[in-house]
């Protein structure tokens, strides 16, 4: 059960149960839909930017505990960051969940609770769906992004 405990940490279970910023964002100036065709999960990310800085970010959709908690915690951690900072954070987060050795640079903060995902390779896509969708929103890609 220890690896399971690493995956389903308290913080993750809490964000799954009570996701933060879990709503549509009227007047969003960026928006994208992410899709995991393997499980049918869908997620929409809404953004407001002030110049280069993310001022508001919300999400909607259905998904597993990992994808929901990841989206919820992502919204908390990118607010107030510049595009470049968001991109650096994504790279570091991706390394964390795929089990790459820690790189220097952006500070993951609370997001380190996702380190257990690396022991569950099939769940990496759940943890990164929100981030891929966020990138699509920032790049104003209109077609739904897919994990496949």
Q: Which of 8, 29, 108, 112 binds other proteins (CB under 8 A)?
A: 8
Smaller CB separation from other proteins, 13 or 24: 13
Please state the closest distance from residue 37 (CB atom) to other proteins, in A.
9
Tell me 54's DSSP state: E
Q: Which of 47, 66, 73, 145 binds other proteins (CB under 8 A)?
A: 66
Burial class (CB in 10 A: 0-12, 13-18, 19+), 35: buried
Which of 11, 28, 53, 64 touches other proteins (CB under 8 A)?
64
Contact between 40 and other proteins per CB under 8 A: yes
User: Would you state the torsion angle of the CA atoms of residues 63, 66, 71, 75, taken in this order, to the nearest 10 degrees?
Assistant: 150
Q: What are phi and psi of 130, to 5 degrees?
A: -60, -40
The footprint of other proteins on residues 41-60 (CB under 8 A) is 41-42
Interface with other proteins by CB under 8 A: which range of 38-46, 51-59, 72-80, 87-95? 38-46
The distance of closest approach from Cβ of residue 65 to other proteins in the complex, given in angstroms and rounded to an integer, is 5
Q: Which of 23, 24, 38, 141 binds other proteins (CB under 8 A)?
A: 38
Separation of first and last alpha carbons in the chain: 30
- In three-state form (DSSP H/G/I as H, E/B as E, the rest C), the secondary structure along 12-52 is HHHHHHCCCCECCCCCCCEEEEEEECCCCEEEEEEEEEECC
Q: Is 62 helix (H, G, I), strand (E, B) or coil?
A: strand
Two tokens, residue 1 = 């059960």
The reply to whether 63 sits near other proteins by the rule CB under 8 A is yes
**Site membership for other proteins, residue 22 (CB under 8 A):** no
Residues that bind other proteins (CB under 8 A): 1, 3-4, 7-8, 13, 16-17, 38-42, 62-66, 68, 120, 122-123, 126
């Amino acid at each position: 059960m220890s690896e399971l405990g690493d995956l389903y940490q308290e913080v993750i279970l809490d964000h799954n149960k009570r996701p933060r910023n879990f709503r549509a964002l009227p007047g969003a100036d960026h928006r994208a839909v992410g899709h995991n065709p393997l499980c049918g999960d869908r997620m929409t990310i809404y953004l407001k930017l002030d110049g280069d800085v993310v001022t508001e970010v919300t999400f909607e959709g259905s998904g597993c505990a990992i994808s929901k908690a990841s989206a919820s915690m992502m919204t908390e951690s990118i607010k107030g960051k510049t595009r470049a900072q968001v991109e650096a954070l994504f790279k570091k987060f991706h390394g964390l969940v795929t089990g790459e050795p820690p790189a220097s640079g952006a500070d993951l903060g609370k997001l380190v609770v996702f380190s257990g995902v690396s022991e569950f390779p099939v769940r990496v896509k759940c943890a990164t769906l929100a981030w891929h969708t966020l990138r699509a929103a920032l790049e104003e890609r209109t077609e739904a992004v897919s994990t496949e």
